[in-house]
Structure 1
């Protein structure tokens, strides 16, 4: 069963959304002001989205958003601002501070739900791209762990040379070539020369 999307609702009057959002498949936790919001976000609990009201006691939405974006543990979480003030300049200010979207109260529920899903889609796309980038970085680090001679061997393998030919070109024994290949396989986390060549070519790290 898929995990529910977790929303942190930050509002001094959260009753309506607290009751409604769970009917649409969201898990909701409430904070009644910015101070509570930051305390929750700095805990071990993870959220997919923050719905943040602007007018609140103790710490308003503007200051809360600034603190969210300055805090490493939660700086990338998507935030939708909720406000009763329909002013373009304030909307622009919120977006510049780091809001992902802006909803004016009173809102139409289908509109809010659509905006929540749109922001979540963008966030997931960014996360997926980041994960792919991390994989590439890990692979590059693995390649960089190869010694100069191991890279020479891998380059010759990608050119179709067999162990005997590689040994002759590098003026080493075939046993030494096999030893280099075993080290290459371990460092690149592959099981044979074909996989090593495909990985190197996909990463454009050796000549095709």
Structure 2
């Protein structure tokens, strides 16, 4: 389940976005201002960030700058969602390093389309960077995982959902979730994204050794 952080100071808008994302099987979290958004992003390492531009204390441009300057959050896909819809505003946002720029009010289909496109592009970038070998889960045992946990992580790393993994391995989704909790604990991470990166490092190393 992909984690998405919504940074939005308007309570109703934030609630609506979180509801849409939850119904679409994402794992959303919300922050009511830019400073809290930065804290959550660094703590949770979401798979994607939706951020308003005009906010008190620290605006969206400040949030993006801070996250891009931090190595741990620099590559997280970042989408501006704002009422500032002029072309010059869009160019400004993209020039600052945003991955996309959506204007409020945004249609649900456009929102989900942008999210899907950015998540897919990020997955492709990761695959190109690491060049992993997915032939076997055995290398993942080096992370201290049990054989079944290594199998689960191998499929997670390939972008499979809990339901997909349950079908592939012939187990229940509840069991998949239980394995994931153990995997996160053993790896010292809090999200699928962080676990995936650890796995890709190992799988890429095993590929290079061949």
Task: Please give the range of the TM-score, normalised by the shorter of the 2 chains.
Answer: 0.5 to 0.7
SS of structure 1 residue aligned to 2:27: strand
Which structure 2 residues correspond to residues 109-148 of structure 1 after superposition, within 5 A? 109-132=108-131
Q: CA RMSD in A?
A: 2.2
Residue 69 of structure 1: how far off its partner (Å): 0.7
Which structure 2 residues correspond to residues 33-182 of structure 1 after superposition, within 5 A? 33-43=33-43, 45-132=44-131
Structure 1 residues 133-161: Cα deviation after superposition (integer angstroms, max 9, x where no partner)? 89xxxxxxxxxxxxxxxxxxxxxxxxxxx
1:8 corresponds to 2:5: yes
CA distance in 2, matches of 1:32, 1:131: 35
4+ residue runs over 6 A deviation: none
CA distance in 2, matches of 1:18, 1:42: 19
Residue 126 of structure 1: how far off its partner (Å): 0.3
SS of structure 1 residue aligned to 2:5: strand
Partner of 1:22: 22
Greater RCO structure (CA 8 Å; 6+ sep): 2
Which structure 2 residues correspond to residues 182-201 of structure 1 after superposition, within 5 A? 199=210
CA distance in 1, matches of 2:84, 2:62: 17
Residue 46 of structure 1: how far off its partner (Å): 2.3
> Which blocks of at least 5 consecutive residues in structure 2 are unaligned?
134-204
TM-score relative to the length of structure 1: 0.61
For the pair shown, the structure with the greater C-alpha radius of gyration is: 1
CA distance in 2, matches of 1:126, 1:119: 10
CA distance in 2, matches of 1:7, 1:36: 15
Structure 1 residues 67-106: Cα deviation after superposition (integer angstroms, max 9, x where no partner)? 1111111011000100101111111111111100010001
TM-score relative to the length of structure 2: 0.60
> Which blocks of at least 5 consecutive residues in structure 1 are unaligned?
135-187, 190-195, 200-208
